[in-house]
Chain A
Amino acid sequence: MKPDDPAIRWVKPPELGLTGRMYLPLVLQGVTTTVRHLFSPKVTQEYPEVEPPIGNPLIYRGVHRLNRDEQGRVKCVACFLCATACPAHCIDIVAAESPWPDRDKYPESFVIDELRCIYCGMCEEACPVDAIELTSLYNLTGRSREEMFFDKEKLLSVYDQTKDREPSAMERQQQAAEDQQK
């Protein structure tokens, strides 16, 4: 596109008026803004001393967890749909034949690179058995990159930590059904 293209609309900056050219009124205007903020109520949050409130923890997209089924086994069936949906390619699964007679396949290893993850929640959406979910834990820290590879045990422990506060989709459904019966 050339500068004389008719599709280009040239915009000129507005010309300064008298107050603009006098300089001082605008300085005063700025100082007034600063002083007003000095005395207005504070909005800064003193993190990490004060934890910020988060909206609905059920839809917050923080650290992942791997849910357990009724028998406490990992619920994941190693279908690789989360790894397929993941735009950051941060999920690495090794599938194997499950040791349980009522299940075909289970993840022998399930590793999420939490540093590579972009927390988009596509894995949660892709999962056909509601096994992977994002929790409301956001304060994720580690001392090394290796520490931030979350393996199956770690992800299951996140579930144990958060299951009471944030019941999984299936547990919520069961709860709703029970409430209805009452």
Chain B
Amino acid sequence: MAEAIIDGKPITLPEGQQLNGIQAARLAGVEIPHYCWHPGLSVVASCRMCLVECGTRDAESGEVRMLPKLVPACQTPVRDGTVLVTDSPKVRHARAYVEEALLIDHPIDCPVCDKAGECYLQDYYFKHGQPKRRADLRPFHSRKRDLGPTVRLFVDRCVMCSRCVRFCREVAGTGELMVVHRGSHEEIDVFPGHPLANKLSGNVVELCPVGALGDKDFLYKQRVWFLKSHAGICTGCSVGCNIWIDENQDHIYRLRARENPHVNQWWICDEGRYGFHHVHSEKRLLGFRHRPEQGPEQELDWEQARDLLQQWASESSRAAAVVSPHLTVEEAYLLCRFVRQVDAEAPLVLGPVPRSGQDEHFPGGFTIRAEKCPNRRGVVELLQHFGGQAGPWPEGLQRLLEYEPELVWVSGGYKTDWITPQEAEQLAQGRRLVVQDLFPSPASQAARLVLPGAAFTEKSGSYVNHNGRLQWADWAIRPPVGTRPEGAVLWQLLGRSGLYQPEAVLEEIAAEVVAFQAVTLPVPEQGVDLHLSLLAEEVTPSAEPPA
């Protein structure tokens, strides 16, 4: 068993992994400060912040021989017998000098810098800097220029860690950024006429350890210490990237990538990063709208809408549902249960699956899927369990219409147009059409009852990504007044008591549906691979996505 010694503390190295000094020190509970090293990027060892004392212990004699010079921990592989010392006076001096050198030409404009509060330079200065300044440092105004449509560079705040340059070369594969000039004149810049405009460009802002790269979408909007982060799942495509939703007082200010080695590693795409503005759109459906067969349109409150729905449910003998791939697993399950309670033969149809272009693969292993919905796999598994139609949309619609239901429940949640006026007309014809959606659409215009739904940041629940991984997302903000999350509506319609509990529903699904057998509660941070149960049961995975 390989053993290394960090600050006199022996640690056992995990097998089959090549760890560097920073990672090994983390195992021992020691944080080595670093700017340029990032687990997702190549090692350059240029910032010199992670300098440590290094040596080896002779396995037989037990004698420790230290190297005379300090070495960068990020570039030092830790093997059996490696000895690292991270808090000796020599190391502390080295760190303080690095901090001093970085601050000599830093503008120190923290009050106007968006990074203040989560800035490595700030944190490390307080932790590792010298108590007394030797240089006459005065705040000055940093030069700035736009690198592309999403990113602004504050030239003088940069510490030349080159994380952004390496990201563009290694992960995005586009290589727009470079370091120009030499020595203390070094600057990050783009090649003339080639702005930073790749689909992952927002990640460089997150990677930047200081305030040199600013996100134009977030710039000057909010100080980071006011933001509260909630673990969520991006619903922009079927990858299901793990994100942090940063909000303050029920307003989302930004989304950030959350590390998950099985899904998105450390990155998210720009489409997902800036894909939250619809949540605060003024166009959202608010209030329960009822269009009676005769008479004018009415605005109902939830109790009235619930009574009306229950009346319709008892009066209708034939029902059907369109289950949207934007619903969470729990909501889709409750919807299927409700409609089947009204009519045990009710056809359940998969809603339109939005697709745009082709899957995009990046050299760093990141993928943007063409399927622009978070939960097709989950909904398909549930529909198969209930014997519904998991086929493509127009055929599903035909099958639904052939059944001639009296009550049709259509769930939406789409950001873009998803149904044609003709289709909505066909669905509505003389039927009790209930539409639960975020935005007005031909369907909501044709509906007899419109139920305003909740956006992805406003509801808890789980999604199954393209790869069959079930991931849990918690709500981050409260839904706006006049809306009611889909799950809460269906929970009450099914006559369940108390508040909507998605965890309890997921537990029920795990016990009932074979495909969800692998789910354990609480759902692990990195999600559950549903294939585990499928392999155990020798059930073939679900069919390929509809074209």
Contact = CB atoms under 8 A, between A and B. Distances in A.
Interface of A: 77-81, 84, 95-97, 102-105, 128-129
B219 interface: yes
Given A78-B112, A80-B223, 11 more contacts: A77-B111, A79-B112, A79-B116, A84-B223, A95-B220, A95-B221, A96-B220, A97-B219, A102-B141, A104-B220, A129-B111
Which of B111, B144, B223: most chain A Cβ within 10 A? B111
A104 B141 contact: yes
Nearest to A108: B220
Interface string B97-126: 000000000000111100010000000000
A78 B222 CA distance: 10
Interface of B: 109-112, 116, 141-142, 144, 219-221, 223, 225-226
B141 A81 contact: no
A148 to B, nearest CB: 22
Contact of A77 (B112, B142, B223): B112
A128 B111 CA distance: 7
Query: Interface residues of B: mostly helix, strand, loop or mixed?
Result: loop
B121 to A, nearest CB: 17
Query: Interface residues of A: mostly helix, strand, loop or mixed?
Result: loop
Contacts of A81: 111
A84 B225 contact: yes
Contacts of B223: 79-80, 84
A85 B221 CA distance: 18
A68 B485 CA distance: 49
Contacts of B225: 84
A97 B218 CA distance: 11
Nearest to B113: A104
A103 B141 contact: yes
A80 B226 CA distance: 10
B412 to A, nearest CB: 33
Contacts of A96: 220
Nearest to B144: A104
B144 to A, nearest CB: 8
Nearest to A128: B111
A104 B221 CA distance: 13
Contacts of B111: 77, 79, 81, 128-129
B141 A105 contact: no
23 contacts: A77-B111, A78-B112, A79-B110, A79-B111, A79-B112, A79-B116, A80-B223, A81-B111, A84-B223, A84-B225, A84-B226, A96-B220, A97-B220, A103-B141, A104-B109, A104-B112, A104-B141, A104-B142, A104-B144, A104-B220, A105-B112, A128-B111, A129-B111
Nearest to A129: B111
Contacts of A78: 112, 220
Nearest to B141: A102
Nearest to A95: B220
Which of A78, A103, A105: most chain B Cβ within 10 A? A105
B280 to A, nearest CB: 15
B394 to A, nearest CB: 48
Nearest to B152: A97
A105 B141 CA distance: 11
A77 B220 CA distance: 11
A174 to B, nearest CB: 17
Contacts of B141: 102-104
Contacts of A80: 223, 226
Nearest to A96: B220
A96 B221 CA distance: 7
Contacts of B226: 80, 84
A11 to B, nearest CB: 50
B406 to A, nearest CB: 52
Contacts of A104: 109, 112, 141-142, 144, 220
Contacts of A102: 141
Contacts of A95: 220-221
A79 to B, nearest CB: 3
A102 to B, nearest CB: 6
Contacts of B110: 79
Contacts of B220: 78, 95-97, 104-105
Closest 4 CB pairs of A and B: A79-B111, A104-B112, A105-B112, A80-B223
Nearest to B142: A104
Which of A77, A78, A104: most chain B Cβ within 10 A? A104
A53 B112 CA distance: 40
A167 B331 CA distance: 63
A79 B225 CA distance: 12
A147 to B, nearest CB: 25
A176 B160 CA distance: 41
Contacts of B112: 77-79, 104-105
Which of A77, A95, A129: most chain B Cβ within 10 A? A95
A103 B144 CA distance: 11
B130 to A, nearest CB: 21
A80 B223 CA distance: 7
Nearest to A101: B141
B50 to A, nearest CB: 31
Contacts of B219: 97
B504 to A, nearest CB: 37
A103 B226 CA distance: 23
Contacts of A79: 110-112, 116, 223
B157 to A, nearest CB: 11
A129 B225 CA distance: 20
Contacts of A103: 141
A80 to B, nearest CB: 5
A120 B113 CA distance: 27
A102 B143 CA distance: 9
Nearest to B116: A79
Contacts of B116: 79
A80 B227 CA distance: 13
Nearest to A93: B223
Contacts of B142: 104
A84 B111 CA distance: 12
A82 to B, nearest CB: 11
A80 B220 CA distance: 10
A78 B223 CA distance: 10
Nearest to A127: B111
Nearest to B225: A84
Nearest to B216: A97
Contacts of A97: 219-220
A145 B141 CA distance: 39
A129 B108 CA distance: 13
